[in-house]
Structure 1
Amino acid sequence: MPIRMTLLAASVVFALSIKAQASSELQSQNNLSSANRPAEVMTVTATKMEENVREIPVSVQVTTGEELEQKGIYSLEPFMKTLPNVAISNNYGVFSSPSYRGLATSAFAQESPITVYIDGVPHSSVYGMDLGLLNVERVEFLRGTQSTLYGQSSLGGVINVITRKSSGEPEGKLVAEIAERNSRMIYGAYGQDLIEDVLSFNIAGRFRDSSGHLTNNYPGSRSDYDESKANQYNGHFRWNISDRTHAILSFNGESRDNGGLPFYAENDGSLTTRQEVDAKNNVKVADQALKVEHEADSFVVTYLAANQHTSAQHISDMDRTNGSVSPVLGNFDGAKFMDDSDIETQSHELRFNSNNSEIRWVGGIFYQDNLYDAKDNGTVVPNSLFGPMESHNMTDVSSDQYAVFGQSTFNVTDKLEATLGLRWQKDEKNIDSSTSNVISGMEMASQYNRSASWDVWLPKAAFGYQLGRDNLFYGSVSKGYQSGGFNFTELNPDNAKYDPQETIDYELGVKSSWFENQLNLDLNLFYLDIKDAHGRSISALNQISFFNVDKARSYGAEFDINWLINMEWSLTSVTGLNKAEYKTSEFAGKRMANAPQFTSALSLNYDGYQGLYGHLTYNYRSSTYTDAANTLTIDGYGLVDAHLGYKFDDYTVYIFGSNLLDESYVTNYYALPFPGPAPIAGAGQPRTLGLGLSVDF
């Protein structure tokens, strides 16, 4: 940690020291950057109202759609890997589980600590954590607890995706890429007015496939073990009913076949495996939403209805190799995990917010119902010491959520601004569990039904103090919340329920802008007091226990630099420091899983000479544990990516490369719940080079 603190301090000193140099350069260029090319001040909707990102008392990281496209980021998972203090774990290839500041995915609710909103439609299920970022105007990452405005599963933060709206004129884009290992990608977007100034539409789609990078040498099995293909799409129709009223019908979805994720036992860096079970990982996500908005003289009223459906089908080799033997279960050949699940969610929100008012306020009501249907979640071990063994869990977990929320921001003095917010939320959940265990033809079945409910008040208080024109000091105290639920693998119904996870989030930060926004420096300090932290363990008999740890804590810092050096060059840097640890139970003093202590993302960008542009990025994350007992470790690693392109007329040609130094690294690490087989590792993607062409029309 001292080394990490030194690096952060060095970054601050470096950023401060360039002020005089940058000022001199700007003057020597006849104020070219500030006068002829003023830096854009971004307007965001982080607080469900349009506001200047430099003036709101919230740590917000904004990425434009153009930046995403130039870096080849077209889906959520690679985007989240660029965020500070975030770690991504892939679970069997079905879903991606993000952790942020030590807050992990809730295991049985399958809810991320970061809620993703795509044009206002919430996605908290981990099955949707790799949705497409297509035709994007910007992505806002709201750091820290956002439960007051956004409810449960936003106790870590919120990713707010805003797609591009049609300009009225016909306009579109086509992109085609090829890369090593038979990788192909085709992307297209188009929009226009159907009836001038009345009815417009915008659609986008993407197809990608790859043979993968893990080779399976088991005879008779598919050689390209992690071959994959995916189709993603989104779009909307906008109807301007009147000058003050409009309706937007939007849709978004994905169909993904991952084959098998590149997990294998006894990771030796060879990128070869011997797995006798052909993996299957199919995920389909589809959502539709209707948004109606009316602008009155003093307020705006918004109604948003959303419907989402996700299905996941998964089969994987249990030990990720062949020929292994466990002293508990015996021969693992043919042993496999299975998952066949559906998730359905409907939500409704009615919201009012101020319009042309000195006191900015927002308030509304929210309702959501959710059904998680585990149609068959289980294991098969055909050659165990006890004969053929199968375990199947067929469980429905249904939930209803009700909420009322409000938040107001007002001036205390001409320099001091205060924000007060409050949310009341109630969750009602029901589990209908059915389990079947078969050993040598003998079945043991169990079934039970249980219900539980929780309600909570989620307050927030924040301040922003404007020192001069270009410096904002801010702080906040807010309560975060993630609902309790049921462990659907628990055979004893009296032990199935677990309690909600709650946090008190303290934030203190500064936003500083120099040289007419040519240089922006943001520093955010945070401390999380965590109550009833969600934890999980697995016994030697594959019984999963989900428990609450009375107390945990997470604290650290996030530091952002955005420097427009001159007309051609810019530098962006994001650094995260974090220490997250349990304070009670048998894990007291242990680091929370998937919580790296140091993360950074540095990007040097060029856009200048006769259409030439490019960027060079370096992303680093330090070592982390993947289990609460701190026995399984992923080593730290850094990846270098690059993109170089040339624009002429409406065309762009470019080359790109990821992991240019061909770093060998592990993305996940876990052990089976019984002794015998080797721990299992996820293999990171090796160096990949590619070529692309895009055209705007």
Structure 2
Amino acid sequence: MNNKAILAAAILGTLAYGQTAAAPHAVETVIVQAARVEKDMKDIPQSMDYLSAEDIEKHRYKTVADAIKSVANIVLPELPGDYSYIQVRGLPRHLEQTNVPIYVDGVPQTSLYGLNLLLKDVESIEFLRGPQGNTYGSNARDGIIVITTKKQGNDPSASFELGVANYDQQSGTVAAGTALIEDVLTAKMTLDYLTRDGFVENTHLNKSVDPKEQRSAMLSLHWTPSSDWTANLYLDHTTIESGVYPYVKDDPKTERGDDLKSATDIEGLFDQTSKGAALNVTWTGLENWRLSSVTGIRKIDTFGRFDAT
């Protein structure tokens, strides 16, 4: 083989290798909702974190606080009476309103009570860092958390989950959904229950100080009368009966084997009822425009009785 033939073979081999190396690889497209309109994640011009349904299931996140633990430089301390706040990069917090609002399917959750939501049928959790005032208003000083739930299809679906743990903890979740009018109206309902003994024993009354019983019910209706209109109605009701919950953390740092005791002649009570309703209506009749209206109401009643001495 002469030199010209060798050179030609080398050039052809190089071209073939270049074409093979340049072959495009399949890249998964992640569509996010945090910008108020659906966008590819790579088109969001801000720092953001994204948790998929697979991430939530893999790590068994049960609440918003569980999920936030996986995000750098953000914490959600759980304070007495189910009072919670989100803090980013150590920035000062507001005592009466959250600086990082949580939106569930476009509906704001702005109360510091009940902010640590249960994660049920969640499709994704998105966290945008930094001020989001242009899109979400002045309360979004440090960022925004957007939770998107799974949409119910025409086919009926159902699931249930049962659990047991130490301190005689028993839990159960049932979720079911179906189409009431095919391609137009769907409904989804979730029932959740948890009960457990307390971690601290009251030796005077011979019973635990901080037992807990929690019941939740959630109902959502999704209406799509046309390609331009969608509406979501969300109803929820939660009751918590938990002894002196404000003074005994739900997940104390002390070891479970520690012999924790107290002696008071008053049976502590801390009961809380949360009821909410929200209607989210969206119109997309114009290209590149999306108009949304959100109306919501929430009522939280709390009753506590305990010996604080």
The answer to whether the superposition gives a TM-score over 0.5 is yes
Q: Pick the aligned partner of 1:301 from 272, 282, 291.
A: 291
TM-score, normalised to structure 1, is 0.38
2:239 is aligned to 255
SS in 2 for 1:112: coil
> C-alpha offsets along residues 350-398 of structure 1, whole Å, 9 cap, x if unaligned?
xxxxxxxxxxxxxxxxxxxxxxxxxxxxxxxxxxxxxxxxxxxxxxxxx
SS in 1 for 2:86: strand
Structure 1 outlier segments of 4+, above 6 Å: none
Question: For residues 46 and 257 of structure 1, what CA distance do their matches in structure 2 show?
Answer: 35
2:38 is aligned to 50
SS in 2 for 1:82: coil
Question: For residues 134 and 302 of structure 2, what CA distance do their matches in structure 1 show?
Answer: 31
> C-alpha offsets along residues 549-605 of structure 1, whole Å, 9 cap, x if unaligned?
xxxxxxxxxxxxxxxxxxxxxxxxxxxxxxxxxxxxxxxxxxxxxxxxxxxxxxxxx
SS in 2 for 1:79: helix
Q: Does 1:203 align with 2:189?
A: yes
Q: Note if contact 1:175-1:186 (Cα within 8 Å) is conserved in structure 2.
A: yes
Q: Pick the aligned partner of 1:219 from 204, 207, 213.
A: 204
1:163 is aligned to 149
1:122 is aligned to 108
Structure 1 runs not aligned, ≥5 long: 1-30, 319-331, 333-697
Q: Pick the aligned partner of 1:93 from 81, 89, 93.
A: 81
Distance of aligned partners of 1:104 and 1:241 in 2 relative to their CA distance in 1, 3 Å threshold: same
Deviation at 1:175, TM superposition (A): 1.0
> C-alpha offsets along residues 301-343 of structure 1, whole Å, 9 cap, x if unaligned?
222211121222233442xxxxxxxxxxxxx4xxxxxxxxxxx
Letter in 1 for 2:271: N
Question: For residues 226 and 254 of structure 2, what CA distance do their matches in structure 1 show?
Answer: 64
2:69 is aligned to 81
Whose strand fraction is larger, Structure 1's or Structure 2's? 1
> C-alpha offsets along residues 92-127 of structure 1, whole Å, 9 cap, x if unaligned?
3342333222235422x2x22221111111112210
Q: Does 1:234 align with 2:234?
A: no
Name the % identity: 23
Whose helix fraction is larger, Structure 1's or Structure 2's? 2
Deviation at 1:261, TM superposition (A): 3.4
Question: For residues 261 and 82 of structure 2, what CA distance do their matches in structure 1 show?
Answer: 20
Q: Note if contact 2:37-2:290 (Cα within 8 Å) is conserved in structure 1.
A: no
Deviation at 1:268, TM superposition (A): 7.8
Please list, as runs of the form range in 1=range in 2, the aligned pairs for 1:344-355 lying within 5 A after superposition. Answer: none
SS in 2 for 1:128: coil
Distance of aligned partners of 1:297 and 1:98 in 2 relative to their CA distance in 1, 3 Å threshold: closer
Deviation at 1:162, TM superposition (A): 0.9
Deviation at 1:51, TM superposition (A): 0.7
Distance of aligned partners of 1:283 and 1:69 in 2 relative to their CA distance in 1, 3 Å threshold: farther
Q: Pick the aligned partner of 2:229 from 222, 245, 252.
A: 245
SS in 1 for 2:65: helix
Deviation at 1:165, TM superposition (A): 0.8
Q: Pick the aligned partner of 2:91 from 99, 103, 113.
A: 103
Deviation at 1:262, TM superposition (A): 8.0
Q: Pick the aligned partner of 2:170 from 184, 209, 212.
A: 184
Q: Note if contact 2:277-2:298 (Cα within 8 Å) is conserved in structure 1.
A: yes
Deviation at 1:148, TM superposition (A): 2.6
SS in 1 for 2:100: strand
Letter in 2 for 1:219: H
Letter in 2 for 1:209: T
The answer to which of 296-305 and 254-263 deviates more is: 254-263
Deviation at 1:229, TM superposition (A): 1.6
TM-score, normalised to structure 2, is 0.80
Please list, as runs of the form range in 1=range in 2, the aligned pairs for 1:330-479 lying within 5 A after superposition. Answer: 332=309
Distance of aligned partners of 1:93 and 1:304 in 2 relative to their CA distance in 1, 3 Å threshold: closer
Give the aligned length: 279
